[in-house]
Amino acid sequence: MVEQLPFWGGLVLPVVLVSLVAAAAAWDSALASRASGGPASALVAPFHAVAGLLVQQRRRTLAADLLLWRGGALALVGAGVLASLVTPLGRWVVADFSIGIVWFNAMEVVAWAAVWLVGWGANSAYGLIGGYRFVALGLAYELPHMFALITTALGAESLRVGDVVAAQDAVWFVVWMPVAFVVYLLSVLAMAFWGPFGQAVAADLAGGAAAELSGVDRLLFEAGRWLLLVSGAAFAVPLFLGGGSGPLLPDWLWSLLKTLAVLASLVWVRRWVPTVRMERYQEIAWIVLIPLTLLQALVVALVVLAR
């Protein structure tokens, strides 16, 4: 069962998330280094990068909208942290909202506004196009993503994350909702504009939405992006992978291990799948993924009605 932590849970959450981000960034850096035959010291490269960005002077562009530009990067970080308020680690959760799944989705959608603001605020053509690419991608992934989330709520007959975990006592949702699981992971990648969905910050736009970012601004933006990826990977565990259930080990450790496994595979996908253009994904999402997720929801609804 899931129980809510006292107020200090909210203070511990960012520490846990940042540790996961550090682990994922180190793993990503190691994969990159191995692929290019680089040195084994790549594990610490992300930490060097963070230190470098902290001391780098911030560049300003002409007639930038500073409020929206910097607000966008902050909102991205805030969204990544707040989305995880409802994610249980074992049996502990920071906030056990009765509408946890809707809360998670609402916080993720903040990224839509945040990335567009970062791209727009700099008053740079590349940034602007990057921001609009993200909006176009968002229109493609959000509906299948919502249907995937709703399917788990349907299976548990509750929007409370604790109830979704409890409903997986016998069978994990991934077993009878495989389509929703795959679509969920795809949209987590898209939400963090990661790997195949990295068009918003692609090299062909000189960095897209992030083109003009430097110093602390770039650090916040990159951190927010990683936090969204980590939050999405961590939320897959209570939704589809039975939460903290597992033999021998304590439940918090199981939650952590499952989160790390999902995170590691998401990071690995980046090196394995080429970038997909938004207009291509748009058609795939609307013509293949939405009907598939609707069918999945129908199957789950029939099972729920029959039992």
- Site residues for another protein per CB under 8 A: 63, 65, 67-68, 97-99, 102-103, 105-106, 109-110, 112-113, 116-117, 120-121, 123, 128, 132, 135, 138-139, 142, 159, 276-277, 279-284, 287-288
Q: 145 is written with which tokens? A: 């993503």
Nearer residue to another protein within complex by CB, 164 or 241 = 164
Nearer residue to another protein within complex by CB, 116 or 173 = 116
Nearer residue to another protein within complex by CB, 288 or 304 = 288
User: Cβ(240)–Cβ(175) under 8 Å?
Assistant: no
Min dist. Cβ of residue 159 to another protein (A): 7
Min dist. Cβ of residue 282 to another protein (A): 7
Min dist. Cβ of residue 40 to another protein (A): 38
Min dist. Cβ of residue 97 to another protein (A): 7
Nearer residue to another protein within complex by CB, 16 or 179 = 179
Residues 226 and 222: their CA atoms lie apart, in Å, by 6
User: Cβ(83)–Cβ(233) under 8 Å?
Assistant: no
Dihedral pair phi/psi, residue 25, rounded to 5°: -65, -40
Residues 195 and 148: their CA atoms lie apart, in Å, by 21
Min dist. Cβ of residue 10 to another protein (A): 17
Nearer residue to another protein within complex by CB, 34 or 277 = 277
Min dist. Cβ of residue 280 to another protein (A): 3
Min dist. Cβ of residue 98 to another protein (A): 6
Min dist. Cβ of residue 31 to another protein (A): 26
Nearer residue to another protein within complex by CB, 103 or 254 = 103
Q: How far apart, in Å, are the Cα atoms of 109 and each of 186, 193, 290?
A: 15, 13, 18
Nearer residue to another protein within complex by CB, 45 or 285 = 285
The CA dihedral of 219, 221, 222, 228, to the nearest 10 degrees, is 140
Nearer residue to another protein within complex by CB, 128 or 202 = 128
